[in-house]
């Protein structure tokens, strides 16, 4: 059994899915007893198609092992893992949602001179395209391809800049093709992010100094990075299975700034263009709210200010631009921040979607906060998202924000309730078999 589970991260997609089928057999004959299901859901899990220790199949299995009822794929600048996630969900029996995360230019809006949710960058923002219908995946791939090309041009320039910093310190040059591209899923349509570059740097450091005191000394004294006592103990443990991710997290917090280059509008397209594309394929455009943070939940982000100072103006801007939703992470924010963003979403009739950013082996798929009754709307929204995605795949145009839905249910809460019923009624093993009692 454990051999099968380890092969969920096999290099080949067909092999990964084949092992998922073997796991399903073990579940069916009760050789494997799954944990008790909770009401938990997570719509924001990264996979190897951006940066993560999990293939889409392994992510679906990890969510099931955590007791989640639904899991959503959300890769940076890539939808190439969606088909595998959808198939893995059908095989294993867990509900799925599909999306991708991109960055957009806010030029020409009230936010063009503001730093919103892109750390250290002014005039650009992260957004998510949620609920992508399965029959729109290939269209999305073509849409994202120019962004990936532009991003890789910047990646190569950042690696050149990084090499000018690290080679005088005695580290080997980082080669884009060998150390970054070949360690990613770019050859299958995956994206290459700053984390891939930091992973390459981390490997160079480990290869040079090994794991332990000498590595720690180099990071502190040569790279001038602070290491907490907790992380120091983790880096002293040579058997630590999360070693690469722990080291990467230190470097991402502040060192990444030393080689970072600001993207352009070839890579981060105008926001209006992104929203128009989302609408054209029946996806749901969502701004990703961060909120000022004093302590990073993932351990790889420094304390920083984001949108809170001008949040009211931001939400008005999002509404005027035609955004459909806001997505946020309950574990990241204070209850005061969450209440504020929720109130603003309700005031401006924006859908609220939750998701906890998973991209490290140390992170748990669980989000216990969402089980608090005050966040029940986020669970409803997830099932509405599932209903939207499957229904609009089967019958084009029948999504949450399509003409049929908005005509029959002009009130967003009524519409969410209707699509929640669709999502909850679906069989995860046969998610495209629609129930008889569809709303229209």
Whole-number mean pLDDT of the chain? 95
Exposure string of 1-18, with b = 16+ CB inside 10 Å and e = fewer, is eeebbebbbbeebeebbe
Span 396-413, pLDDT tens digits: 999 999 999 999 999 999
Percentage of the residues of the chain whose pLDDT score is greater than 70: 98
Domain boundaries, the chain: 2-145+268-418, 154-258
Instruction: Answer whether residue 300 shows pLDDT above 50.
Output: no
- Listed residue (97, 28, 90) closest to 429, CA to CA: 90
Span 132-154, pLDDT tens digits: 999 999 999 999 999 999 999 99
Span 304-314, pLDDT tens digits: 889 999 999 99
- pLDDT attached to residue 294: 76
Instruction: Answer whether residue 295 shows pLDDT above 80.
Output: no
Q: How far apart are CA 283 and CA 129, in angstroms?
A: 6
- pLDDT attached to residue 1: 64
- Taking each helix axis as running N to C, give the angle between helix 311-321 and helix 335-347, from 0 to 180 degrees, rounded to the nearest 10: 40
The tokens for 173 are: 């040059």
Instruction: Answer whether residue 197 shows pLDDT above 50.
Output: yes
Q: How confident is the model at residue 81 (pLDDT cuts 50, 70, 90)?
A: very high
Q: Which residue has the higher pLDDT, 250 or 33?
A: 250
The architecture that CATH gives domain 2-145+268-418 is Alpha-Beta Barrel (3.20)
Which residues are 351's β-sheet partners?
325
- Listed residue (207, 152, 206) closest to 180, CA to CA: 152
Q: Which residue has the higher pLDDT, 295 or 314?
A: 314
Q: How confident is the model at residue 298 (pLDDT cuts 50, 70, 90)?
A: very low
Q: How confident is the model at residue 299 (pLDDT cuts 50, 70, 90)?
A: very low
- pLDDT attached to residue 14: 97
Q: How far apart are CA 58 and CA 10, in angstroms?
A: 9
Q: How far apart are CA 215 and CA 223, in angstroms?
A: 11
Instruction: Answer whether residue 250 shows pLDDT above 50.
Output: yes
Cβ-contact 298, 231 below 8 angstroms = no
**Average pLDDT score over residue span 238-266:** 96
**Average pLDDT score over residue span 366-380:** 92
Span 158-173, pLDDT tens digits: 999 999 999 999 999 9
Instruction: Answer whether residue 423 shows pLDDT above 90.
Output: yes
- pLDDT attached to residue 413: 97
- pLDDT attached to residue 434: 93
Q: How confident is the model at residue 302 (pLDDT cuts 50, 70, 90)?
A: low
- Taking each helix axis as running N to C, give the angle between helix 229-236 and helix 243-253, from 0 to 180 degrees, rounded to the nearest 10: 140
Which residues are 126's β-sheet partners?
103
Cβ-contact 291, 306 below 8 angstroms = yes
- Listed residue (107, 10, 103, 111) closest to 54, CA to CA: 10
**Average pLDDT score over residue span 315-330:** 97
């Amino acid at each position: 059994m454990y051999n099968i589970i380890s092969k969920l991260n096999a290099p080949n997609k067909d092999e990964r899915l084949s092992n998922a089928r073997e796991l399903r057999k073990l579940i069916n004959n009760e050789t494997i007893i799954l944990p008790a299901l909770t009401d938990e859901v997570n719509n924001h899990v990264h996979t190897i198609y951006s940066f993560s220790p999990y293939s889409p199949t392994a992510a679906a299995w990890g969510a099931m092992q955590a007791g989640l009822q639904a899991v959503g794929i959300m890769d940076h600048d890539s939808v190439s893992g969606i088909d595998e996630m959808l198939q893995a969900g059908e095989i294993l029996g867990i509900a799925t949602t599909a999306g991708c995360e991109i960055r957009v230019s806010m030029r020409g809006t009230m936010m063009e001179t503001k730093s919103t949710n892109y750390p250290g960058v002014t005039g650009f923002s992260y957004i998510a395209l949620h609920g992508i219908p399965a029959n729109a995946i290939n269209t999305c791939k073509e849409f994202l391809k120019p962004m990936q090309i532009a991003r890789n041009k910047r990646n190569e320039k950042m690696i050149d800049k990084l090499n000018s910093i690290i080679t005088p310190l005695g580290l080997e040059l980082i080669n884009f093709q060998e150390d970054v591209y070949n360690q990613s899923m770019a050859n299958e349509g995956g994206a290459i992010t700053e984390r891939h570059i930091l992973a390459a740097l981390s490997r160079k450091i480990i290869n040079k100094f090994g794991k332990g005191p000498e590595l720690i000394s180099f990071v502190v004294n040569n790279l001038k990075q602070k290491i907490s006592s907790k992380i120091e103990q983790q880096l002293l443990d040579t058997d630590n299975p999360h070693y690469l991710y722990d080291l990467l997290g230190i470097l991402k917090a502040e060192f990444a700034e030393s080689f970072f280059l600001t993207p352009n509008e070839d890579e981060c397209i105008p926001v209006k263009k992104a929203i128009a594309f989302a609408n054209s394929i029946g996806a749901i455009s969502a701004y990703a709210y961060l909120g000022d943070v004093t302590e990073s939940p993932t351990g790889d982000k420094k304390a920083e200010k984001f949108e809170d100072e001008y949040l009211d103006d931001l939400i008005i801007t999002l509404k005027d631009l035609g955004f459909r939703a806001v997505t946020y992470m309950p574990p990241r924010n204070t209850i005061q921040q969450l209440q504020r963003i929720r109130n603003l979403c309700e005031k401006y009739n924006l859908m609220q979607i939750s998701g906890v950013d998973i991209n490290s082996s140390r992170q748990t798929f669980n989000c216990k906060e969402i089980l608090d009754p005050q966040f029940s709307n986020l669970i409803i929204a997830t099932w509405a998202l599932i209903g939207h995605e499957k229904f609009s795949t089967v019958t084009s145009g029948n999504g949450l924000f399509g003409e049929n839905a908005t005509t029959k249910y002009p009130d967003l809460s009524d519409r969410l309730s209707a699509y929640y019923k669709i999502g909850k009624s679906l069989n995860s093993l046969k998610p495209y078999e629609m129930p008889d009692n569809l709303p229209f």
